[in-house]
A and B are shown apart, each in its own frame.
Chain A
């Protein structure tokens, strides 16, 4: 028992001091939603129950080790059963468990209940990026790991938010009930932001839902939490929680941008324009598997250079990129001009000699 007291003291100090938490990340986040706070409180409750049971059990073990040593002349008693005692230590744990189950059930039912949402966001997992759509507002985009993190994987200089930064964060308003519809286009992914306490699998072919209401403006970072293949560790989530006004302004900007992109798909692009834009998209969306130099990974990811698809008829190439095939996910969520650029890049770079593909070709191939 004596040995354990300092230990509990240290534990208390570590767990209750906020600065220590921030520095070393020892404990679960309290987050910025009522759900995350409820879960944190529940977690701490169970933790302290376990500590209390631990003090009793480990105390008895240590006491036995110290007090009943043969070397100290301890003589063994011969008792070996007691129905009363067995009943007591079956009954008490049951009571403790019931006491734990009541708050746990309350929190769970609360998490799973959402009557009415003010905003709906559809989240689709792809190998290895997230797609966010606002169906009511009619906008949507892809969110990739930021280039600064990608460049830092092999170097000693890491950006501050290494592997937790993206090119296009998910923008959400605060103080709004938000419903997430979570799904996947290929394998199972899991959309997890610890500070929102939202963690939900995206299952291909099915839609899960979850909800949140963010109390504080800020940037909240998370990661995919279900093994989804090679770059599972490289598809972070960044949520930017902003005021309702800022959110409305952002939606308007986003709409204007998407309209401009749609307009660009109706004109004919030069090969240089397609190649320049295609290289960026290739590096963001394709190089994870097919590699930056188009060499692929034999047996898993086919090479781009010299392939019969990239050098063959454009129709086959369009079909495989738009609809996917086997392990190759579909990329129909990209815009026409983006698809035209990246397909042209694949057909012209890496020493390939395929034809140029225009946005209008993509439109008709869809």
Chain B
């Protein structure tokens, strides 16, 4: 066991410099997590604007151009500002402590990966105040709406996306280097906990996908400013090529956001079921299969673009295949709970809710993958409902669950369980009021990304908006629970606030010391804490 004695002679710097010059993985993890939370609030505020306009038919609050700016920026900020940085923040906090490493492999690179983000976010948000407004072409920024027909601020958007891409690629390199080189010498790959496995695989997705995103925005940049015609038919280009390149990035991207969530759930369910994770190795193989398949299904986002029938058939079959490894994961989680001894602390409630609601998102995903049926679903609210079920009640749920699960370890204090349960039920009910009716809206024919709608869509939009306001408010309570835990939480009695938790991170003292694993854990300790024993 490590002690804090070592901290005496080189602890963190005092004041703001501690954060600006941060190279400690825990400090950087904290920065990432607070940044992600701030972006979640900004992106959430934009969503409130969208739902306020959609509360009633007609245009009440804004013009359609501003509405399009809101939907675009909401998507970009939530994907690149909230979910991805939050997952990287968790990776920073957890991976070194889970593999018995003293820190991330490349601490200065780590500092830079983080500090690029606030500037990228500032550039992105500043476009709201430019002449012509922020990007208004959807987070998927299809050409030529985003090239010849876009406001001047689009060039700032392109620069911001480049910066976000740098950050992600550097973060991914760091994680791969840490897992492969800094792992405790006695830890084999198949001893690694699932969160580490899922992040290792996610890092390879990032390294494969982000350069493609950088490529496509660079092609946009030259189309807009330097007379090229990649996406302009009059110059021999093709606007559909944009979509192929974008989704070659975009589909792995959605797994970048969900795979670490799978890892988190694979830690929480065993702890509160008091039973080892079922099918550890099949979980690893399923994650790897999903990652591989994510690279070869991109055009299922493009069934309406006029692809040849053979391509549509191929992309439909490949897409349906993803249901197999995803199903294996869900079945393994259920088998983990089976014949366990279950308790329902807040992290477990979030994990169970994830299991339930993510599966619903999986079902709608399977339906969307069926090419002929997608003719009626494509670009409707059914799609909006689907991806919010997998990203909000999937990725975001896992992030909240992880925060409540590991925070007591990090700060050595317990959050207020009663408030956390109120928060859970509040969010759980309101999120379903918010997103479930959107399935009906989509099936009934409401297209997405419209600021105003026909009268038959009024009732469900009203319900959805009311759910949205309630859901938005729940994050104030979440912020209070976290801050209250850090400041006033009652000290945890043991190194394991959850007695049944397994993993090397729980062998450290509480609160977790600033420097940990200066000496690597032994083989016996690793086996004792591994998920497959």
> Which residues of A pack against B, CB within 8 Å?
24-29, 36, 38-39, 42-43, 46-47, 50, 53-54, 57-58, 60-61, 64-65, 68-71, 74-82, 85-86, 89-90, 93-94, 97, 100-101, 104-105, 107-109, 111-113, 127, 152-156, 158, 160-164, 186-188, 190, 192, 194, 197-201, 203-206, 208-209, 221-234, 297-300, 326-327
Answer whether residue B466 sits at the interface, using C-beta atoms and an 8 A cutoff.
Answer: no
A70 contact set on B, CB distance < 8 A: 274, 341-343
Chain A nearest Cβ from B444, distance in angstroms: 3
B324, A74: Cβ atoms under 8 Å? no
Answer whether residue B55 sits at the interface, using C-beta atoms and an 8 A cutoff.
Answer: no
Chain B nearest Cβ from A147, distance in angstroms: 16
In the bound assembly, the distance between CA atoms of A111 and B58 in angstroms comes to 36
The number of chain B residues with a CB under 8 A from chain A is 100
A158, B57: Cβ atoms under 8 Å? yes
Contact of B455 among A77, A162, A232, A300 (CB under 8 A): A162
B239, A203: Cβ atoms under 8 Å? yes
In the bound assembly, the distance between CA atoms of A192 and B57 in angstroms comes to 21
Answer whether residue B440 sits at the interface, using C-beta atoms and an 8 A cutoff.
Answer: yes
In the bound assembly, the distance between CA atoms of A50 and B363 in angstroms comes to 6
B359, A58: Cβ atoms under 8 Å? yes
Stretch at the interface among B34-42, B43-51, B369-377: B369-377
Answer whether residue B222 sits at the interface, using C-beta atoms and an 8 A cutoff.
Answer: no
A233, B440: Cβ atoms under 8 Å? no
B274, A76: Cβ atoms under 8 Å? yes
> Which residues of B pack against A, CB within 8 Å?
57-59, 63-65, 68, 130-133, 136-138, 142, 144-145, 148-152, 232-234, 238-240, 273-282, 304-306, 309, 312-313, 316-317, 320-321, 323-324, 327-328, 330-331, 334-343, 352, 355-356, 359-360, 363, 366-367, 370-373, 375-376, 378-380, 440-441, 443-445, 447-457, 459-460, 532
A153 contact set on B, CB distance < 8 A: 58-59, 452
B372, A42: Cβ atoms under 8 Å? yes
A111 contact set on B, CB distance < 8 A: 372, 375
Chain A nearest Cβ from B318, distance in angstroms: 11
Chain B nearest Cβ from A205, distance in angstroms: 2
B355, A205: Cβ atoms under 8 Å? no
In the bound assembly, the distance between CA atoms of A307 and B240 in angstroms comes to 36
Given A60-B334, A70-B342, A188-B239, are A229 and B145 neighbors across the interface (CB < 8 Å)?
yes
In the bound assembly, the distance between CA atoms of A29 and B445 in angstroms comes to 8
In the bound assembly, the distance between CA atoms of A227 and B306 in angstroms comes to 17
A156, B343: Cβ atoms under 8 Å? no
Chain B nearest Cβ from A263, distance in angstroms: 34
8 smallest A-B Cβ distances: which pairs? Answer: A205-B233, A299-B132, A25-B444, A299-B131, A233-B450, A208-B306, A80-B276, A77-B339
Residue of B nearest to A85 (CB): B335
In the bound assembly, the distance between CA atoms of A204 and B147 in angstroms comes to 13
Residue of B nearest to A58 (CB): B356
Given A70-B341, A206-B238, A206-B306, are A25 and B456 neighbors across the interface (CB < 8 Å)?
yes
A225, B304: Cβ atoms under 8 Å? yes
In the bound assembly, the distance between CA atoms of A221 and B328 in angstroms comes to 42
Given A188-B144, A205-B232: 14 more A-B contacts, CB < 8 Å: A64-B338, A65-B337, A68-B340, A68-B342, A80-B278, A86-B328, A107-B372, A163-B57, A187-B144, A194-B445, A206-B306, A222-B445, A230-B64, A297-B132
In the bound assembly, the distance between CA atoms of A111 and B373 in angstroms comes to 11
B238 contact set on A, CB distance < 8 A: 203, 205-206
Chain A nearest Cβ from B362, distance in angstroms: 9
Chain A nearest Cβ from B414, distance in angstroms: 19
A26, B133: Cβ atoms under 8 Å? no
14 contacts between A and B (CB under 8 A): A57-B330, A68-B339, A74-B340, A81-B282, A90-B327, A105-B316, A111-B372, A127-B149, A163-B453, A188-B239, A204-B239, A230-B63, A299-B133, A326-B148
Contact of B454 among A164, A187, A205, A209 (CB under 8 A): A164
B379, A226: Cβ atoms under 8 Å? yes
Chain B nearest Cβ from A184, distance in angstroms: 9
A232, B450: Cβ atoms under 8 Å? yes
Given A25-B444, A27-B443, are A76 and B275 neighbors across the interface (CB < 8 Å)?
yes
B341, A25: Cβ atoms under 8 Å? no
Chain A nearest Cβ from B3, distance in angstroms: 32
B57 contact set on A, CB distance < 8 A: 158, 162-163
A228, B339: Cβ atoms under 8 Å? no
B453 contact set on A, CB distance < 8 A: 163, 233
Residue of A nearest to B130 (CB): A299
In the bound assembly, the distance between CA atoms of A155 and B59 in angstroms comes to 9
In the bound assembly, the distance between CA atoms of A188 and B379 in angstroms comes to 13
Chain B nearest Cβ from A340, distance in angstroms: 27
Chain A nearest Cβ from B383, distance in angstroms: 10
B334, A57: Cβ atoms under 8 Å? yes
Chain A nearest Cβ from B193, distance in angstroms: 14
Given A80-B278, A158-B58, A203-B305, are A108 and B313 neighbors across the interface (CB < 8 Å)?
yes
